[in-house]
Amino acid sequence: MPRPDLSETDRQRVLTVTAPTVDFSKAEAFEQMQGGAGTVVKRVNADIFSHPAANLSFEGRQEFMVGNGVFRKDWVSSPASTLASDGLGPLFNARSCQACHVKDGRGTVPGLDPEDKSEAMALLIRFALPSGAPDPVYGRQLQPFAVTGLAGEGRLRIAYSPVNIELAGGETVVLQRPDYTIDALGYGPLDPNVRLSARLAPPMLGLGLLEAIHPQDILKNIDTPQTRRDAVSGRPNWVTDPESGQKVLGRFGWKADQPSVKRQSAEAFFMDMGLSTPLREDPYGDCTAQQAPCRTLPHGVQKEQGDHEVPGNLIDFVTVYSSNLALPQRREVSSPKVLAGKKLFYEANCIACHVPKYVTRRDAARSEHQFQLIWPYTDMLLHDMGEGLADEDGKETLQREWRTPPLWGIGLTKTVNPNATWLHDGRARTLLEAILWHGGEAQAARDRVVAMSPEDRANLIQFLESL
């Protein structure tokens, strides 16, 4: 079905410009501007992920800066003299959004460095029974921190076991398989059938542009020449929009279970910091009825401040901020090694899931996101990624499925956070390790990378590092 927001002439233009290239002798037109007109051309440093989109209006930049302040703000427990900043917890993972999304990039996994004794903040642990229900005592998520006078829920411990992978050309890569346990439980034992699932805070780049991709452009990724080649069978995750009550396409989160940037933001305030919003109204967050001491403590809802700890206008500011963090301009797009690596990326059929480019909706909600050629390298669908990456959260059908993460900005990951790692639980210390964990529908593409010569693999990684 053709996109209703486009004329027939525009539809043909979009089909032409978004078709996978077959010419790897030079960079494609506008390939450097991976975030469309919002792409920023800035000196590369640790703040490269934190700039507003270049095409934001003056008013948009004002909203962005206010949202930035809320995103970075440390929340405190109630009661406090700072009524606009209290309501934290009583159980929580972090005091601010920025604490998990380091400089708007990936979070940090605790314990990768043996000397690191810090508690988990950016690496969340979800709880689920085989039915998908939360743990009856601990709820949906482990919260290791608590306000004064209350016990945290427990401490995450991670042990890694080696997995040796032999590559063509005589190379060997040692992967690390994580095993999670929780000790110092504050409220008795977990349900014996509960499953643990780790989720690392992802980068914040380009979220508004991803929301502006037309649903039909996402759905058409289900059946393409690339997916048919390797029997790739991505599927959409249809979720209920709590504001409209309608079934809509899930776009955000590792399981594509959130429909919008606003909803994802509200969920993070609620689950990670125990803060109520108009979309999640319980001021006690993930405290369950079985955690009675938690639900007797003061909360931050003050009638003179409104009915929520994070009022609707603050959620709106955070949404503007999260929707308009700019993509940096790509680097070395015309380098012979980058172009060679790009060709290998296409030939390995990585683009069956990591779809390179889109043109966003003409009728996107914000003008800066309208009709932009963008290069996120994702199909926005769920895929079976094999037993090696199998999850324990939720029903059996979801355990092996993950949303294809966008690749834009991936080459600057460690510039922003030197301790950052990859995949949904941060187990991959390098981009090559991340590729080698691929299985299931991605097995054939992964095996082609294994069979490459060392020089070809190096060029492939150099292409990814240019994104």
**Rounded percentage of the chain residues whose pLDDT exceeds 90:** 89
**pTM summary value:** 0.95
pLDDT value, residue 32: 98
Instruction: Give the span between the Cα atoms of 8 and 2, in whole angstroms.
Output: 9
pLDDT band at 273 (very low <50, low <70, confident <90, very high): very high
Q: Is the pLDDT of residue 186 over 60?
A: yes
pLDDT value, residue 228: 97
Instruction: Give the span between the Cα atoms of 130 and 117, in whole angstroms.
Output: 32
Q: Is the pLDDT of residue 304 over 80?
A: no
| Residue in this structure with the two tokens 């709590």, named with its chain if needed | 242
Report the largest interatomic distance among the alpha carbons of the chain, rounded to a whole angstrom.
68
Q: Quickly count: other Cβ atoms within 10 Å of residue 464's Cβ.
A: 21
Predicted confidence (pLDDT) per residue in 321-380, tens digit: 999 999 999 999 999 999 999 999 999 999 999 999 999 999 999 999 999 999 999 999
Question: Got the DSSP string for 315-352?
Answer: HHHHHHHHH-BPPBPPS-TT-HHHHHHHHHHHHTTGGG
pLDDT value, residue 402: 96
End-to-end CA distance of the chain: 31
Average pLDDT over residues 73-79: 93
